[in-house]
Amino acid sequence: MWKLLHGGRADADKALNPASDEPALPPVSPEKGVVQRIAAQVSNIGRDAAETRGVIEDAKRDAAVHLASLQQLEQWLREVEQSQRAIGDASGATRDAVVRARTEVQQVAGEVASIVEVLRQVASAASDIGQIALQTRLVAFNASVEAKRAGEAGRGFGVVADAVKDLAGRVESSSRTIMGTLTDLDRRIESFSREIRSGGEGAAQGAIHRAFAEVEVSVGRIDETAGRSATTVQQVCERSQQLSSGIRHAFDGLDVALDCSDRFLSVSETLIDELAGCGVETTDTPMIAQAQRAAADMSRLLEQAVQQGHISAQALFDVRYQPLEGTQPEQFLATFSPLAERLFPAIQEKVLGSSDKIAFCIAVDRNGYVPVHNTIYCQPQRPGDVAWNTANSRYRRIFNDRTGLASARNERPFLVQTYRRDMGGGKHVMLKEASAPIIVQGRHWGGLRIGYRF
């Protein structure tokens, strides 16, 4: 088995071929049995460590979401607080305006009183004019009588007397009209004056002052409500800040726990690697060998493509990924994507179909970019359905998580890892992964990843 993991291709093929003509392997020695049992226990420990790490990651992600929500809430509360201060300022300005209006009304009341006095003076003058007109009519009447007695000699004087009498009558009529108008105007102005002067309480209070009072009461209620609301908002804001502080503290604790779980998982993975490479066959040995063999096949195909001019070495190692618009999760195209779509499926699909335990087989570049996945995971994306896309449209994506980058950049003969595979919609699958480096013309291009179930 040591040859299988570290030796040539022919040795690996023989070890994986159950129809080989070589004699059956001798019974497992007690020492090897112990190693195999330890390997199985370490594998279980690795699974638990990966599950723990995944749970911590979920908790950390949820904490980040809650923290962001609280921060947004605090921002909204600050805006509400500013609005309430503006309401308080506006209420104070309104009360000041009402006070000024009351003062102005009182001044108007004084002016109206002056107008009433002037109108009364005008009415008195009009009354005097009426009396004078009445007297003038009496004088004209007497003059007319005397003119008639005088006969022909008083005829001209009689005409004048009649004209004066007629004029005095019209003056008297106009005076009475003016008096009536002034009386009505005086009554109305006096009523208005009383209205704006009556600033007392209860029924004696005028409509204008009642309106002012109602405005003042309403403004006071608004100000009082805004004050209570401001107090409540302040309390909520303080509580939100306390919760944010608690979440940040928990976030720091989750970081520490995540680091610990990473170290725990790394130790278990190191033990798996060491046990797999010590010459004793474990449950991971066949997958490791298959990953190494598939990686060698990928290396050979890519080297042939470069040698035959199907692609340049520069294009093969190009990492300028072009994002595809409207994709969720985001997908990319690389210069070597068309070549990979032609060459990789033959190897990847063969490995996938070799065992029911295998969940996927993919080749990735050093950044975790998957130009083409297994056929079942190369479905066109459904617009807006992120959960479905995450599970079924896994090609042309960059998997640069802890496991993905470790497999992509590993240059040792093999690497075994344990992790939770994100299938979208909050669903995860626990998998182990065996990977081996893909080398093209002496340069590390990426890795061949085989994910398999426990």
- Can you tell me the distance from the alpha carbon of 331 to that of 308, in angstroms, rounded to the nearest whole number? 29
Q: Are the beta carbons of 116 and 188 closer than 8 angstroms?
A: no
Residue 6 has pLDDT above 60, yes or no: no
For residues 223 and 296, state if they share a domain: no
Closest CA to 221 of 95, 74, 133: 95
- Can you tell me the distance from the alpha carbon of 435 to that of 290, in angstroms, rounded to the nearest whole number? 9
For residues 220 and 142, state if they share a domain: yes
For residues 191 and 303, state if they share a domain: no
- Can you tell me the distance from the alpha carbon of 90 to that of 222, in angstroms, rounded to the nearest whole number? 10
Residue 147 has pLDDT above 50, yes or no: yes
Share of the chain above pLDDT 70, in %: 70
Q: Specify the pLDDT at position 202.
A: 47
For residues 90 and 223, state if they share a domain: yes
Main-chain dihedrals φ then ψ at residue 39, nearest 5 degrees: -60, -40
Write the CATH number for 136: 1.10.287.950
Question: What is the layout of strands, in order, in the sheet containing 415-422?
Answer: 358-365, 443-452, 428-440, 415-422
- Can you tell me the distance from the alpha carbon of 416 to that of 157, in angstroms, rounded to the nearest whole number? 145
Residue 25 has pLDDT above 90, yes or no: no
Q: Rounded mean pLDDT of 222-245?
A: 76
Q: Is residue 246 part of a domain?
A: no
Q: Rounded mean pLDDT of 361-383?
A: 97
For residues 185 and 55, state if they share a domain: no
pTM: 0.56
- Cis omega before residue 338 (within 30°)? no
The vertex-55 CA angle with 53 and 59, nearest 5°, equals 115
Written as one letter, the residue type at 52 is T
For residues 86 and 48, state if they share a domain: no
Q: Specify the pLDDT at position 217.
A: 78
Q: Specify the pLDDT at position 39.
A: 62
Q: Specify the pLDDT at position 255.
A: 76
Q: Pick the residue with more confidence: 384 or 176?
A: 384
Q: Specify the pLDDT at position 253.
A: 74
For residues 47 and 124, state if they share a domain: no
Residue 419 has pLDDT above 80, yes or no: yes
Domain end call among 213, 230, 247: 230
Residue 200 — very low, low, confident or very high, per pLDDT cuts 50/70/90? low
235-259 tens-digit pLDDT:
787 777 777 777 777 767 777 776 7
Q: Which residues contact 411 (CB under 8 A, 6 or more apart)?
A: 437, 444
3-state SS record for the chain: CHHHHHCCHHHHHHHHCCCCCCCCCCCCCHHHHHHHHHHHHHHHHHHHHHHHHHHHHHHHHHHHHHHHHHHHHHHHHHHHHHHHHHHHHHHHHHHHHHHHHHHHHHHHHHHHHHHHHHHHHHHHHHHHHHHHHHHHHHHHHHHHHHHHHCHHHHHHHHHHHHHHHHHHHHHHHHHHHHHHHHHHHHHHHHHHHHHHHCCCCHHHCCHHHHHHHHHHHHHHHHHHHHHHHHHHHHHHHHHHHHHHHHHHHHHHHHHHHHHHHHHHHHHHHHHHHHHHCCCCCCCCHHHHHHHHHHHHHHHHHHHHHHHCCCCCHHHHCCCCCEECCCCCCCCEECCCHHHHHHHHHHHHHHHHCCCCCEEEEEEEECCCEECCCCHHHECCCCCCCHHHHHHHECCCEECCCHHHHHHHHCCCCCEEEEEEEECCCCCEEEEEEEEEEEEECCEEEEEEEEEECC
Write the CATH number for 298: 3.30.450.20
Q: Specify the pLDDT at position 12.
A: 37
Q: Is residue 392 part of a domain?
A: yes
If you search the block for the tokens 């420990």, which residue do you land on? Answer: 45
For residues 17 and 102, state if they share a domain: no
- Can you tell me the distance from the alpha carbon of 354 to that of 287, in angstroms, rounded to the nearest whole number? 10
Q: Is residue 219 part of a domain?
A: yes
Residue 279 has pLDDT above 50, yes or no: yes
- The domain of 20 spans 2-59+259-452
Choice among 56-60, 148-152, 268-272, 341-345 with the minimum mean pLDDT? 268-272
Residues paired with residue 434 on neighbouring β-strands, in sequence order: 416, 450
Q: Rounded mean pLDDT of 357-380?
A: 97
Q: Specify the pLDDT at position 441.
A: 95
Domain end call among 214, 230, 246: 230
Share of the chain above pLDDT 90, in %: 32
Residue 77 — very low, low, confident or very high, per pLDDT cuts 50/70/90? confident
Residue 442 has pLDDT above 50, yes or no: yes
Residues paired with residue 193 on neighbouring β-strands, in sequence order: none
Q: Is residue 248 part of a domain?
A: no
367, HSE (Cβ side, Cα atoms, 13 Å): 12
If you search the block for the tokens 């497999």, which residue do you land on? Answer: 407
Q: Is residue 242 part of a domain?
A: no
Q: Specify the pLDDT at position 373.
A: 98
For residues 158 and 290, state if they share a domain: no
- Can you tell me the distance from the alpha carbon of 217 to that of 80, in angstroms, rounded to the nearest whole number? 24
Residue 334 — very low, low, confident or very high, per pLDDT cuts 50/70/90? very high
| Total number of domains in the chain | 2
What token pair was written down for 93? 């300005």
For residues 315 and 427, state if they share a domain: yes
For residues 44 and 123, state if they share a domain: no
Main-chain dihedrals φ then ψ at residue 278, nearest 5 degrees: -90, 0
- Can you tell me the distance from the alpha carbon of 51 to that of 64, in angstroms, rounded to the nearest whole number? 20
For residues 312 and 357, state if they share a domain: yes
Q: Specify the pLDDT at position 11.
A: 42
Q: Pick the residue with more confidence: 385 or 175?
A: 385
- Can you tell me the distance from the alpha carbon of 245 to that of 223, in angstroms, rounded to the nearest whole number? 32
As a whole number, the mean pLDDT across the chain is 78
Q: Is residue 240 part of a domain?
A: no
Q: Is residue 149 part of a domain?
A: yes
Crossing angle (nearest 10°) for helices 337-352 and 285-307: 150
Q: Is residue 356 part of a domain?
A: yes
Residue 429 has pLDDT above 90, yes or no: no
- Can you tell me the distance from the alpha carbon of 14 to that of 26, in angstroms, rounded to the nearest whole number? 16
